[in-house]
């Protein structure tokens, strides 16, 4: 009781230490990830601002190119305008030239200051491009337009230098976004005489600004000097609302106002705006000189920090999993200590677990043997304790039987675990290998790699080609199997080293050929070393005596089991006992091939038989003498058909079929002639002397002599003669 309490305290103490450990680990992990998070965030923000600024700069440069072009077009025409002031009619020519020579200029006017020319108090010829590309001359000196009151006219006169008007939608010229650059023109006397203008289309701006994509979800805005939104992704706002008006409706009015103020005052900078409860965005802005415009790029925070946010979420999840596992481990450690409390309970559970272990282990071993014509198998595995270290396994792949038997050093639970690993390894390694030597070598590498408990496995692995009977095998320190090839004997097997002893070990592969009814007997030393009460071993002699009578696999196995049981008697089993017996039957007559020859009932076709036989003889390597005999038998049989089954002059055919198998050749000669049984002819007497010897009757005699069996059948109106020659 006291001990139990102590253990509980110990468990609690250890749980307390565990908790502290968890807290320290959690704090350390959290701090590390926070530091990493913030430093990454700062770097990403810097990168975003660099990218936005470079984008702003390059866009501004593109805008300035057009602006400079328009300004140059106007400035270059000032002197000629001055020169033409006295000839108002020629001013239209100057305006026309500005339009024609500058593709970005949509229209130009030279508007005289009212009353500068006494004869023409208001004079403003206006040249503009029409929709079809031609150039048209109009007059702006109309009463309703009243050009002297227009911004483009008043502003440059007020400041005395070039002025970019607020952008506007040109109602007359196809609803395009326009701005006008206007400069005052003084005469030679220095009096302000006229305003020279160029209308510049801003349609390209929409495209230029719209195409800015620093980040997939970023967007750009261009505002005029007065704060009017010129270009933005929201079309309803463009040229309709000012940035200040727009700012009123946003969530983060104060920050938006500082953005608007910054942009309107022609500065550059950046502002972080709250978009919604969770989302913020970063806005970078910069002025477009001369025009007084300001441009801004807005990038949602999620765009800038998305990657690192996803990463930090992942890190947090992993951290939580790690902590969870730590808690579980500590709890189970604490519980394990509490477990010592009940030894009885433990023993019961152990036995139960051993039973489960036994069942699991047995379920890993194949117990269903394939019912096949080419192999006949039987196997058994009897552990000395609940669980054991013996194993066997087999399976069929690509017409090959892969099989193995093995014995793990030691007994009981540790051996059973290694047995399970070995069996899994055999399956996984042999799945991609055909050679037992490769399988054994790879398994040895894996087992030596993880072998900290110095356990080893004696192992024998074979691959039997079921069609040919070819057996390749590799032994790793296992008892050499017995084979029945002509007689019962040990299969010559290099001992090699067991698996798990030495990495990089080279194993020797060996091979032999099994014929029909040969057998292979694999076993573990539990068989030969089975002991009776007098501590005598069953031994190889007794084992071989049992197998000397050659039966089928199951009967052999049962005979062996009975012999061992009789010998051991009441003694406890000392070791696991495993046997795997394989009988090679090869009753499949595999590789049967057929050859066909069709002849007409014409003696002249007989030589074709010689070629037919020659082909077959080449194919299966028949010796010349046998080939000649077969040719002779066929010729005699076919000649009989041609001469006797078909009446002279009738047309018929003779089918010759050859069925070639490993151990015999079968010829079937059939025809549709009248019933004729060559085998019914009396046996020729070859002992008669010259005088008594009849001339004929030798044909069928030769057929019978050459072939091992000849039989005639009349079926479906056909004569069918079957002849078999054993090889």
Partner 1 sequence: MEVIINKEDSVTTVRLIGRLDTPASQDVAQSFEPLMSDAGGTTVLDCSEMSYISSSGLRIFLSMRKAAASQGGKVIVKSISDDIRQVFMMTGFLNLFEIQ
Find the shortest distance in angstroms from Cβ 673 to partner 1. 17
CA–chain centroid gap for 69, Å, is 57
Pick from 504, 682, 689, 717: which binds partner 1 (CB under 8 A)?
Answer: 689
Question: Is residue 618 within the footprint of partner 1 (CB under 8 A)?
Answer: no
Q: Which is nearer to partner 1, 366 or 697 (CB)?
A: 697
Q: Which one of 352-360, 425-433, 566-574, 692-700 is the stretch in contact with partner 1 (CB under 8 A)?
A: 692-700
Using CB under 8 A as the criterion, what x/- string covers residues 620-639 for binding partner 1? ----xx--xx-xx--xx--x
Residues 545 and 566: beta-carbon distance below 8 Å: no
For residue 426, with 0-12 CB atoms within 10 Å meaning exposed, 13-18 middle and 19 or more buried, which class applies?
buried
Residues 162 and 183: beta-carbon distance below 8 Å: yes
Q: What does the alpha-carbon distance between residue 295 and residue 276 come to, in Å, rounded to a whole number?
A: 23
What are the b/e assignments for 404-413, b being 16+ CB within 10 Å? bbbbbbbbbb
Question: Is residue 600 within the footprint of partner 1 (CB under 8 A)?
Answer: no
Find the shortest distance in angstroms from Cβ 603 to partner 1. 5
Q: What does the alpha-carbon distance between residue 9 and residue 338 come to, in Å, rounded to a whole number?
A: 10
Find the shortest distance in angstroms from Cβ 660 to partner 1. 21
Q: What does the alpha-carbon distance between residue 81 and residue 78 come to, in Å, rounded to a whole number?
A: 5
Pick from 144, 696, 716, 726: which binds partner 1 (CB under 8 A)?
Answer: 696
Q: Which is nearer to partner 1, 264 or 613 (CB)?
A: 613
Find the shortest distance in angstroms from Cβ 403 to partner 1. 47
Total number of residues that touch partner 1 (CB under 8 A) = 29
Question: Is residue 671 within the footprint of partner 1 (CB under 8 A)?
Answer: no
Question: Is residue 691 within the footprint of partner 1 (CB under 8 A)?
Answer: yes
Question: Which residues lie closer than 8 Å to 641 by C-beta, 6 or more apart?
Answer: 601, 654, 669, 671, 673, 676, 719, 721
Question: Which residues lie closer than 8 Å to 281 by C-beta, 6 or more apart?
Answer: 272, 273, 275, 298, 299, 300, 301
Residues 595 and 658: beta-carbon distance below 8 Å: yes
Find the shortest distance in angstroms from Cβ 656 to partner 1. 15
Question: Is residue 695 within the footprint of partner 1 (CB under 8 A)?
Answer: yes
Question: Is residue 607 within the footprint of partner 1 (CB under 8 A)?
Answer: yes
Q: Which is nearer to partner 1, 488 or 632 (CB)?
A: 632
CA–chain centroid gap for 91, Å, is 76
Residue 642 gets which letter from DSSP? I
Nearest to 552 by CA among 590, 527, 513, 518: 518
Pick from 10, 314, 620, 688: which binds partner 1 (CB under 8 A)?
Answer: 688
For residue 593, with 0-12 CB atoms within 10 Å meaning exposed, 13-18 middle and 19 or more buried, which class applies?
exposed
Question: Is residue 686 within the footprint of partner 1 (CB under 8 A)?
Answer: yes
The SS3 assignment for 313 reads helix
Q: Which is nearer to partner 1, 34 or 603 (CB)?
A: 603
Q: Which is nearer to partner 1, 610 or 724 (CB)?
A: 610
Q: Which is nearer to partner 1, 567 or 701 (CB)?
A: 701
Residue 278 gets which letter from DSSP? S
Q: Which two tokens stand for residue 275?
A: 């978009």
Nearest to 216 by CA among 127, 137, 111, 302: 302
Question: Is residue 701 within the footprint of partner 1 (CB under 8 A)?
Answer: yes
Residue 405 gets which letter from DSSP? E
Q: Which is nearer to partner 1, 123 or 667 (CB)?
A: 667
59: left (phi over 0), alpha (psi -120 to 50) or beta: alpha
Q: Which one of 393-401, 433-441, 654-662, 691-699 is the stretch in contact with partner 1 (CB under 8 A)?
A: 691-699
Pick from 363, 621, 687, 715: which binds partner 1 (CB under 8 A)?
Answer: 687
Q: Residue 129's beta-bridge partner residues?
A: 135
Using CB under 8 A as the criterion, what x/- string covers residues 380-399 for binding partner 1? --------------------
Question: Is residue 604 within the footprint of partner 1 (CB under 8 A)?
Answer: yes
Q: Which two tokens stand for residue 139?
A: 């007059």
Question: Which residues lie closer than 8 Å to 253 by C-beta, 6 or more apart?
Answer: 247
Pick from 606, 659, 720, 724: which binds partner 1 (CB under 8 A)?
Answer: 606
Find the shortest distance in angstroms from Cβ 698 to partner 1. 4
Question: What backbone phi and psi angles, to 5 degrees, belong to 712?
Answer: -115, 145
Find the shortest distance in angstroms from Cβ 702 to partner 1. 6
Find the shortest distance in angstroms from Cβ 712 to partner 1. 18
Find the shortest distance in angstroms from Cβ 685 to partner 1. 8
Looking from the CA of 39 toward its CB, the CA atoms found within 13 Å total 6
Map the footprint of partner 1 across residues 433-492, applying CB under 8 A: none
Q: What does the alpha-carbon distance between residue 92 and residue 136 come to, in Å, rounded to a whole number?
A: 10
HEC states along 335-375?
A: HHHHHCCCHHHHHHHHHHHHHHHHHHHHHHCCCCCCCCCCE
Q: Which one of 335-343, 493-501, 672-680, 697-705 is the stretch in contact with partner 1 (CB under 8 A)?
A: 697-705
Residues 120 and 130: beta-carbon distance below 8 Å: no
Q: Which one of 24-32, 181-189, 367-375, 680-688 is the stretch in contact with partner 1 (CB under 8 A)?
A: 680-688
Find the shortest distance in angstroms from Cβ 613 to partner 1. 11
Find the shortest distance in angstroms from Cβ 519 to partner 1. 39
Find the shortest distance in angstroms from Cβ 695 to partner 1. 5
Find the shortest distance in angstroms from Cβ 611 to partner 1. 12
Contacting positions for partner 1 (CB under 8 A): 603-604, 606-607, 610, 624-625, 628-629, 631-632, 635-636, 639, 686-691, 693, 695-696, 698-699, 701-702, 705-706
């Amino acid at each position: 009781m006291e001990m139990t309490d102590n253990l509980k305290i110990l468990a609690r103490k250890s749980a307390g230490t565990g908790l502290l450990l968890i807290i320290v680990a959690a704090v350390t992990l959290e701090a590390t990830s926070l530091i990493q998070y913030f430093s990454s965030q700062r770097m990403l923000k810097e990168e975003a601002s660099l990218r936005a600024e470079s984008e702003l700069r390059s866009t501004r440069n593109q805008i300035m190119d057009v602006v400079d072009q328009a300004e140059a077009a106007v400035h270059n025409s000032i002197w000629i305008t001055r020169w033409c002031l006295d000839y108002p009619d020629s001013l239209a020519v100057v305006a026309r030239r500005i339009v024609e020579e500058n593709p970005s200029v949509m229209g130009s006017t030279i508007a005289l200051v009212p009353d500068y020319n006494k004869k023409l108090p208001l004079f403003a010829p206006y040249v503009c491009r029409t929709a079809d590309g031609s150039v048209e001359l109009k007059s702006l000196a109309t009463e309703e337009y009243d050009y002297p009151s227009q911004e483009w006219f008043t502003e440059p006169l007020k400041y005395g230098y070039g002025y970019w008007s607020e952008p506007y939608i040109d109602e007359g010229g196809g609803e395009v976004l326009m701005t006008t650059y206007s400069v005052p023109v003084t005469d030679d006397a220095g009096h302000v005489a006229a305003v020279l203008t160029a209308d510049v289309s801003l349609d390209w701006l929409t495209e230029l600004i719209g195409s800015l994509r620093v980040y997939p979800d970023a967007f750009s805005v261009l505002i005029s000097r007065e704060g009017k939104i010129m270009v933005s992704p929201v079309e309803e706002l463009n040229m309709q609302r000012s940035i200040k008006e727009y700012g009123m409706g946003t969530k983060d009015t104060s920050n938006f106002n500082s953005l608007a103020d910054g942009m309107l005052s022609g500065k550059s900078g950046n502002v972080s705006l709250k978009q919604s409860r969770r989302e913020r965005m970063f806005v970078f802005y910069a002025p477009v000189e001369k025009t007084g415009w300001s441009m801004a790029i807005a990038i949602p925070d999620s765009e800038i920090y998305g990657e690192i946010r996803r990463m930090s979420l992942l890190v947090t999840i992993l951290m939580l999993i790690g902590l969870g596992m730590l808690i579980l481990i500590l709890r189970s450690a604490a519980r394990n200590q509490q477990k010592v409390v009940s030894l009885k309970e433990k023993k019961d559970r152990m036995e139960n677990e051993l039973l489960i272990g036994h069942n699991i282990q047995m379920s890993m071993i194949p117990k269903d043997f394939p019912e096949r014509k080419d192999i006949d198998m039987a196997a058994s595995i009897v552990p000395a304790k609940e669980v054991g270290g013996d194993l066997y396994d087999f399976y069929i792949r690509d017409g090959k039987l892969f099989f193995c038997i093995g014995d793990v050093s030691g007994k009981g639970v540790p051996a059973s675990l290694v047995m399970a690993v070995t069996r899994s390894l055999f399956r996984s390694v042999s799945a991609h290998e055909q050679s037992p030597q490769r399988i054994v070598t790879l398994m040895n590498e894996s087992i030596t790699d993880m072998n900290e408990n110095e356990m080893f496995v004696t192992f024998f692995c074979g691959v039997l080609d079921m069609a040919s009977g070819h057996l390749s095998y590799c032994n790793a320190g296992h008892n050499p199997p017995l084979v029945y090839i002509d007689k019962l004997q040990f299969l010559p097997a290099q001992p090699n080293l067991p698996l798990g002893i030495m990495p990089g070990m080279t194993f020797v592969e060996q091979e032999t050929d099994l014929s029909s009814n040969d057998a292979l007997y694999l076993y573990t030393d539990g068989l030969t070393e089975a002991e009776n009460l007098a501590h005598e071993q069953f031994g190889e002699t007794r084992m071989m005596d049992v197998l000397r009578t050659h039966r089928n696999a199951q009967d052999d196995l049962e005979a062996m089991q009975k012999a061992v049981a009789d010998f051991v008697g009441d003694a406890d089993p000392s070791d696991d006992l495993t046997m795997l017996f394989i009988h090679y039957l090869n009753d499949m007559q595999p590789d049967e091939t057929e050859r066909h020859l069709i002849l007409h009932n014409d003696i002249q076709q007989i030589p074709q038989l010689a070629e037919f036989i020659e082909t077959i003889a080449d194919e299966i390597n028949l010796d010349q003498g046998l080939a000649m005999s077969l040719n002779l038998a066929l010729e005699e049989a076919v000649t009989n058909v041609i001469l006797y089954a078909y009446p002279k002059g009738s047309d018929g055919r003779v089918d010759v079929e050859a069925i070639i198998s490993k151990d015999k050749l079968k010829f079937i000669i059939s025809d549709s002639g009248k019933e004729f049984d060559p085998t019914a002819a009396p046996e020729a007497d070859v002992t008669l002397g010259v005088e008594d010897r009849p001339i004929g009757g030798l044909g069928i005699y030769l057929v019978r002599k050459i072939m091992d069996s000849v039989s005639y059948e009349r079926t479906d109106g056909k004569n069918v003669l079957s002849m078999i020659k054993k090889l």
